[in-house]
Structure 1
Amino acid sequence: MIWQNLIDKTLQPLDISNSISEVKSVFKTSTFNHLPVFKKGVFKGSINIDDLIDLDKDAPLSEFKYLIEVFYAEAHKTNLDLIHEFANHQTNMLPILDQDKNYIGVMKLEDVLDLFGESPFVANEGEVMILRKERTKFSFSEVAQLIETLNAKLSGMYVSYLSKDVVEITVKVEHQSINEILQTFRRYDYQIASEHPEDLFTEDLKEHSDYLNKYLDI
């Protein structure tokens, strides 16, 4: 299912002429921490429930325009674009506009996360690895090629950390021997930032460390 099919068009709108008391009443009927605000039917932004606490309940919202945050997503964006907007604005409600900036409805954070959870990266069985390498030496195509040469199935990968010098990616694969994959990546100068019980390299290091400690204790 595409996320556009889940746009909620039933949310009760707030008008900038509403009193703070009226705005709070609308919040009580929803589970959102933001609600969209309109002026004569035109979308103006969203108001956060936490910003209403100390305001005069009889004053109109228009007296507090500086509290209205302008954020939204356009209907042609992807699931990941939406998640980025949710995170940036710490909201569980995202206004959706068309290409002409006309208001369509809102997306709920829970619906977008549910869709993301249905993606192969999350839903498929497999092992998740975190690989780290120098940024100038990193290549997505190399990662995919190494996985394919081992007859493993790649469910997805994304950049989970990025700095000037280092890139870290999270990869999910389906393969019977994760140890074989880990050793292959090490041979190509990738560091393994995740822990895996099947990782014989880690087990070997532990055995050597234990042996060294015993030797030093003699």
Structure 2
Amino acid sequence: MIWQNFIDQTLKPIQVSDTISEIKLAFKASKFNHLPVFKKEVFKGSVHIDDLLDLEPTSSLSDFNYLLEVFYVESHKTNLDLIHEFANHQTNLLPILDQDKKYLGVIKLEDTLDLFGESPFVANEGEVMILRKEKSKFAFSEVAQLIETLNARVSGMYVSKLSEEFVEITVKVEHQGINEILQTFRRYEYQIVSEHPEDLFAEDLKEHSDYLNKYLDI
């Protein structure tokens, strides 16, 4: 299901002419940390509840225009764009505008997370691996090829960490036995960041480490 179906148009708009006291009441009636602000029907930005704490209750928000944060998502963007904006602005409510910057409504963080949870990457059965490799040697095509040559299937993958030296990706795999997949990636110079009970290589390392510790204690 597309996220645009979850745009909420019922939220009562806050006007820049409203008093701080009135806006605090609007926050109290909601469960959001930001609320969108308008000048008549024109979207001007969002205000955070914490920024109102020490303001004079009878003053108007228009006296504090510097508190307005201008962020939004356009209606043609993807689920990942939504998640990026939620995280980037530490908010649980995003204003949605069309390509002409006309306000369409808001979308809630909880609805976006529910949609993400229904995606095949999250909902399908499988094993999640975190792999790391030198940036200059990394290729998505190689990751997919190595998995598919072992008669497994990739449910999804994304870059979860990136630096100048290495790439770290999260991969979900439908498989019959994860150990063979892990050993194959090691042979191709991937580091396995995630932990797996079926990882015989990691178990062997632990046994050798335990043996060495016992030897050193003698």
Q: Normalised by the shorter chain, which TM-score bucket? A: over 0.9
How big is the shift at 1:199? 0.3
Partner of 2:12: 12
Which whole-Å CA distance do the structure 2 matches of 1:97 and 1:214 have between them? 65
Give the 3-state SS of the residue equivalent to 2:44 in structure 1: strand
Residue identity opposite 1:109 in structure 2: L
Unmatched runs of 5 consecutive residues or more in structure 1: none
Q: Are 2:57 and 1:57 aligned?
A: yes
Partner of 2:118: 118
How big is the shift at 1:205? 1.1
User: Identity across aligned pairs (percent)?
Assistant: 79
TM-score normalized with structure 1 length: 0.98
Partner of 2:79: 79
* Residue-pair matches, total: 218
Deviations 1:113-168 (A, max 9, x none): 00000011111111110000000000000000101101111111111110000110
Partner of 1:152: 152
Which whole-Å CA distance do the structure 2 matches of 1:49 and 1:191 have between them? 44
Deviations 1:50-96 (A, max 9, x none): 11111011011100000000000000000010000000100000000
Q: Map residues 97-108 of structure 1 onto 2, 5 A cutoff.
A: 97-108=97-108
TM-score normalized with structure 2 length: 0.98
Partner of 1:181: 181
Residue identity opposite 2:90 in structure 1: Q
Give the 3-state SS of the residue equivalent to 2:201 in structure 1: helix
Partner of 1:171: 171
Deviations 1:22-42 (A, max 9, x none): 111111111111110000210
Residue identity opposite 2:122 in structure 1: V
How big is the shift at 1:215? 3.6
Of 78-87 and 204-213, more deviation after overlay is shown by 204-213
Of 90-99 and 27-36, more deviation after overlay is shown by 27-36
Give the 3-state SS of the residue equivalent to 1:106 in structure 2: strand
How big is the shift at 1:210? 2.6
Partner of 1:3: 3
How big is the shift at 1:217? 4.2
Residue identity opposite 1:175 in structure 2: H
Q: 1:212 to 1:52 in 2, by over 3 A?
A: same
Which whole-Å CA distance do the structure 2 matches of 1:174 and 1:181 have between them? 11
Which whole-Å CA distance do the structure 1 matches of 2:129 and 2:165 have between them? 20
Q: Map residues 124-139 of structure 1 onto 2, 5 A cutoff.
A: 124-139=124-139
Q: 1:102 to 1:207 in 2, by over 3 A?
A: same
Which whole-Å CA distance do the structure 2 matches of 1:41 and 1:198 have between them? 58
